[in-house]
Amino acid sequence: MTRRPLVLLSLVLAACVARPTGDTDDQSTGEPATTTGPVPDTSGGTTTASTTTPATTLPAPTTTEPTGGSPTTDAPEPTTDALTTTPFIPGPDGGPQIECDPWVEDCPEGQKCMPWADDDGSSWNALKCVDIVPDPDGLGEPCSVIGSGVSGEDTCDKHMQCFNVDPDTLQGTCLAMCTGSPDKPGCEQPDATCSLSGDGVLILCLPNCDPLAPDCNPGDTCIPHPHGEGFTCVIDAGGDEGQLFGPCEYVNFCDPGLLCIEAKFAAECDQDAIGCCLPYCDLTAPPSCPGAGQECTPYFEQGQAPAGHEDLGLCLLPMP
């Protein structure tokens, strides 16, 4: 299996993610992004911490913001031809081109407002109107991007974006864009959470998931939501890697049921690695942590767990 570049989406998280290029606050850059989330402490509880590197127990999601759909090392050059006759509007000081507003879909009939990379880069930073293809793909259906993962062109219907794109086939799944406004974002789907990234150009409803029983699509994995309390499905950047006790650098590199955290929490991990794939555990189940001396440690502080995640823990070595 081809190893996918780490993503992302602030949507989805603030750690590093490898897979199609194009980030949501850093998810597609492959670099650790700043994130705030629960960090297991040595006393069995968790504390909230903010970090810019995987130095804390929970690495920040890397553009768990959505990625664009092509490896960061050899991603196809993003398409720069606009599919509209409407002039682009340069941003302040000649910055990114913002031609439309995805919240209100103010493009001409037959077009939709889409994020894209206007600088030949690998991250979404601008907005433009593009034609909606004939017989477009619907919510949750397979789709394709055109040119590259950050071209802004895909086969999804209006107010949807082809996301979690395979860098080899350029195929992904149609996700809905957020509803409401930047101040009051939401999702029409009850099982999704709005994730804003790319300085606001990427507004996606990422599907929720349960790390103890991940039900993400094949090829995806369940990671902490970068800007929310729960968990979301993003592309599994590890491919055939990312197994138990395996090294990792990105939050979406590990197999389903595992999380990339500091290697010091398991004797079986390579202590020189940036991170290590360790399992989630059920606090109410009999002890079952696979590592020598590991204990099922609460993921959230007492009383702080979101509904449905009260029993979530991580298998960790107790720190002295």
In the chain the first and final C-alpha atoms are separated, in Å, by 40
* 196/77 Cα distance (integer angstroms): 24
- Strands 126-131 and 111-116, how do they pair? antiparallel
pLDDT at residue 4 greater than cutoff 60:
no
Q: Does residue 51 carry a pLDDT above 80?
A: no
Between 266 and 219, whose confidence is greater?
A: 266
Largest CA distance in the chain: 64
| Rounded CA separation 137/183 (Å) | 29
DSSP symbol at 319: P
Query: What pLDDT shows up at residue 219?
Result: 83
pLDDT score for 164? 85
Q: What is the pLDDT of residue 228?
A: 64
pLDDT of the residue at 282: 96
Where is average pLDDT lowest: 100-104, 225-229, 253-257? 225-229
User: Which residues, at least 6 apart from 254, have a Cβ–Cβ distance to it below 8 Å?
Assistant: 221, 238, 242, 243, 246, 248, 260, 277
pTM across the whole model: 0.66
pLDDT of residue 289: 96
- CA dist 121 and 129 (Å) reads 19
**Mean of the pLDDT values across residues 73-101?**
43
Local confidence band at 220 (pLDDT 50, 70, 90 cut-offs): confident
pLDDT at 151 over 90: yes
Q: Which residue has the higher pLDDT, 16 or 236?
A: 236
pLDDT band with cut points at 50, 70 and 90 for residue 227: low
Confidence of residue 241 (pLDDT cuts 50, 70, 90): very high
Give the SS3 label for residue 207: strand
Quick one: CA dihedral 12, 15, 18, 21, positive or negative?
positive
What residues form DSSP beta bridges with 49?
37
Q: Evaluate whether 221 touches 255 at the Cβ level (below 8 Å).
A: yes
Confidence of residue 97 (pLDDT cuts 50, 70, 90): confident
- pLDDT of residue 68 exceeding 90, the answer is no
Coil vs helix vs strand at 180: strand
305, 238, 297: which is closest to 265 by C-alpha? 297
80-84, 182-186, 203-207, 279-283, range with greatest mean pLDDT: 279-283
Element (H, E) at 111: strand 111-116
Lowest-pLDDT choice from 24-33, 92-101, 293-302: 24-33
More confident residue, 209 or 26: 209
Average pLDDT over residues 227-238: 82
What integer is the mean pLDDT of 228-236? 83
pLDDT above 90 for 132? yes
* pLDDT value, residue 11: 26
